[in-house]
Chain A
Amino acid sequence: MEKKEVSFNNFEQCIKCTVCTAYCPVVPVNPRFPGPKQAGPDEERLRLKNKMFFDENLKYCLNCKRCEVSCPSGVNIADLIQSARRRYSAATPTLRDTMLANTDVMGRLARPFAPIVNSMVATKPVKAVMDVVLDIDKNRTFPNYKAHGFVGWFNREARSKQAAYSKKVAFFHGCSTEFQHPEVGKAFVEVMNAVGYGVELMNEECCGVAMIANGLWNQASRHAKHNVAVFEKMVGEGLPIVATASTCTFTMRDEYPHVLDIDNSKVRDSITLVEKFLFDLIDAGKVTLVFKKDYAARIAYHIPCHMEKLGWSIFTKRLMQMIPGVSFTVLDSGCCGIAGTYGFKKENYEYSQEIGRPVFEQIRALAPDFVCSECDTCKWQIEMSTGYKVLNPIVILAEALDLPATTAANRR
């Protein structure tokens, strides 16, 4: 892809129009946050002169990228903010931040004790202790850890069947599919198999987004390098890297080079989301979907921030609208407030709920059967805040498809 930077993250292109500020979700709720224009291009100019101009309040940035989507001058505002944190922040991550950032390690530790951990973190005394000792807000509900992960299931039930397919994809499942929502991975394998693609897993590491958010820069860079190397091998063998989580996808495509300075140019364009992957195949007439006759659902679609930034919600919309019997409403685009681990922190809890309020209100007013969203942290936030169930589009698709008929239609 053509590179258009004239300076580091384009900051000199800023015309000081303040349009970015109009769309930043943090600005109206948290006066401590300087706002995108000041925190990004304005202060970058000063920071380049002297790092004492670095402001620790940049940590309040959600990294939602809504500023970048609105900027008429193509300034990578949030990238400037995140890379300034990487370059200049003196803050050392707390125990709490380290725990929240290590989604994969926490998952592995919790797994053997999943039933106990789940019920423990759901109890008032434990929440109170976490609130006081760890600054994890007591009002937060934790996603349930699953005792049996996705990879275990894949190895037992699915791996041996994949050899039968001549066309293949490499699946980046991500942490939440492995530890909390294996059903997303299962749905992915079912749908891919039905449309004639075999699935391969990789020796992947967590994409690192939570490490970036929590200032664990070295660890994030290690993960990024590892993943890029693994992807290069897969892409070299002709396999695209397909994921189900919008934030992991976005991070691996754009945050690796823009924030962590890690070159992913050989694989960037091969990293994709399942919705885009499927749509392009259907659009090219290479894949046919056959839906169940009796499937019906009223669905509200919450577009995650990173899906907005990717610009790919159009693929999810198109896919969902293909399902007969679905009434599909797209919510006014807005941040749900969780931003990965941000909303788990006690100091952010109230801001987080305030940022998400318009999204929650729309969902309550629509009263859908369930909400559709590609991001699992949005899922936790919306489920906790509204009581409505949130499903990944691939889960909805697997449910709505007549899988045997789809398999038959694509066998050629």
Chain B
Amino acid sequence: MKFDAIIIGGGLSSLVCGIRLQEAGKQCLIVSAGQNALHFSTGTFGLLGRLPDGTAVEEPLLDIPKLPENHPYSKIGIERIKEYAVGVIPFFGKYGIKLCGFNGANGWRFTPMGTFKPAWLALEEIPFFKSPDEVIGHKALIVNYAGFMDFNSVFIAEGLEKKGLSCRIESVKLKVVENLRANPTEMRSINIARVMEQEECWKEFGRTVHSLLKDEDVVVVPEVFGLNNPLVCDWVREMIKANVLFVGTMPPSVAGIRTQKLLKKAFENIGGTFLMGDEALGSSISDGAVTSIKTRNLDGTLLEADDFVLASGHLFAHGLVASTGKIEEPVFGLDVDFVPDRNGWYDKNFFEKQNYLGFGVVTDSRFRAFRNGSLVDNLYVIGSEVGGCNSLNEGSGAGVAIMTALRVADEIIGG
């Protein structure tokens, strides 16, 4: 089966690249072994929150030129990054994904730990502030579902109290959510969100919270609304009649899952083919170019294309695989950049910079991969799999995914 381009992986980078290519009339196939990092997203996109030396970044576009030469952003070049950056909000907007930002400057997300973290853009329902000192209100009512452990009212209260708000904590029992408590390990954001999709349920929640409200001007609730329709968040706000903050819970992320669904639907609606639950197993390479790949499900059917894009994620997504002393890319056997001494891979303090997160596939300036030291002409690498940056440390995860995806799509479209 022949396509213009085949993309391996089904996450943010893959979908952005696939949509861009389909829009330009290229016939694309996406093969994805399962769901992806969007399901664990904070609901915000980072472009650059910190320089590699730890300096905080306020205006990503001003600091990107300071990045080292082999950083993916440096390979793309600041002029292109600026052009792509302006296009991000309209690109997602066209497919029903509303992103909010502060004209390119970093904003601040309120975390489930009660702290503020920088980010570049936020999905519409995520509380996102211009500065951590922005006045939110005076009194806050924090409401959780009884028995829901992935939303910690106490941490949130502590965070808000530091900002000078006085807080009151309440929990609500709704029959439909109580049902979920029978299966404690499944009492997660997504389960509640699926119940809260039903009109009677979000209305009952809205009514209940409204009746608990005394003189508070801020209400904080878990982000479990709008799994399919983000308007539900607005409707809940209207019912409660206060400044309602939908604060992220532990993953899975409701806003992230919705984003994934919308991007996948957009890709398919403009003619793309998406194989969900299938896995690229191996490839044929001749004369320095990939000719076809094989997948687990389509045994016997060769998948051919002019260009191939590897977007299969980092270690967490199995795009890279670690064994003792070695990190490998399993589908093509590409060259990976890592330090040979395993002791240099990680810091024992979980919250410190972890070097292993900076490992990735070696690419040239156009994001083409190398195998045994030689360039593979038509195989590009995008997203978190690309070497040259530690995106968790820099707060550049979604940014690297989107920018490399757009760059490679343009490379393929250009010829």
Contacts and interface: CB of A to CB of B under 8 A. Distances in A.
Contact of A34 (B183, B279, B299, B317): B183
Interface size class of B (residues with CB under 8 A): 35 or more
Contacts of A72: 33-36, 39, 317-318
Nearest to A41: B185
Interface in A97-134: none
Contact of A71 (B34, B182, B191): B34
Nearest to A13: B318
B273 interface: yes
A19 B185 contact: no
Given A22-B190, A311-B275, A311-B277, A330 B268 contact: yes
Contact of A308 (B251, B277, B279): B277
Contacts of A35: 183, 186, 191
A350 B318 CA distance: 40
B333 to A, nearest CB: 15
B191 A70 contact: no
Nearest to A66: B277
Contacts of A70: 34-35, 276-277
B135 interface: no
A312 B194 contact: no
B300 interface: yes
B191 A27 contact: yes
B278 A311 contact: yes
Interface in A205-255: none
A310 B180 contact: no
Given A27-B194, A70-B35, A311-B297, A17 B276 contact: no
B169 interface: no
Interface string B191-204: 10011010000000
A159 interface: no
Nearest to B10: A72
B277 A69 contact: yes
Interface string B162-192: 0000000000000000011011011010110
Nearest to B177: A31
A294 interface: no
B273 A21 contact: no
Contact of A311 (B1, B195, B298, B317): B298
B186 A31 contact: no
Contact of A69 (B182, B265, B276): B276
B204 to A, nearest CB: 16
A22 B39 contact: yes
B191 A280 contact: no
Contacts of B265: 332
A171 B268 CA distance: 33
Interface size class of A (residues with CB under 8 A): 35 or more
A250 to B, nearest CB: 11
B297 A310 contact: yes
B93 to A, nearest CB: 22
A379 interface: no
Nearest to A269: B299
Nearest to B297: A311
B346 interface: no
B155 interface: no
B275 A28 contact: no
Nearest to B276: A69
A17 B251 contact: yes
Contacts of B279: 74
Interface string B279-305: 101000000000000011111110000
B40 A1 contact: no
Most buried by B among A19, A71, A279: A19
Interface string B17-54: 00000000000000001111001100000000000000
Given A21-B186, A35-B183, A276 B33 contact: no
A42 B185 contact: yes
A1 B36 CA distance: 25
B252 interface: yes
A86 interface: no
A157 interface: no
A44 interface: no
Contacts of B188: 18, 21
B35 A19 contact: yes
Given A18-B188, A317-B273, 18 more contacts: A2-B281, A16-B185, A18-B186, A18-B252, A21-B188, A21-B190, A22-B257, A31-B180, A34-B183, A35-B183, A38-B185, A69-B34, A72-B317, A73-B34, A308-B276, A311-B275, A311-B297, A312-B297
20 contacts: A17-B251, A18-B252, A19-B34, A19-B35, A22-B194, A22-B252, A27-B191, A28-B191, A42-B185, A70-B34, A70-B277, A74-B34, A279-B301, A280-B300, A308-B277, A311-B276, A311-B298, A314-B275, A317-B273, A330-B268
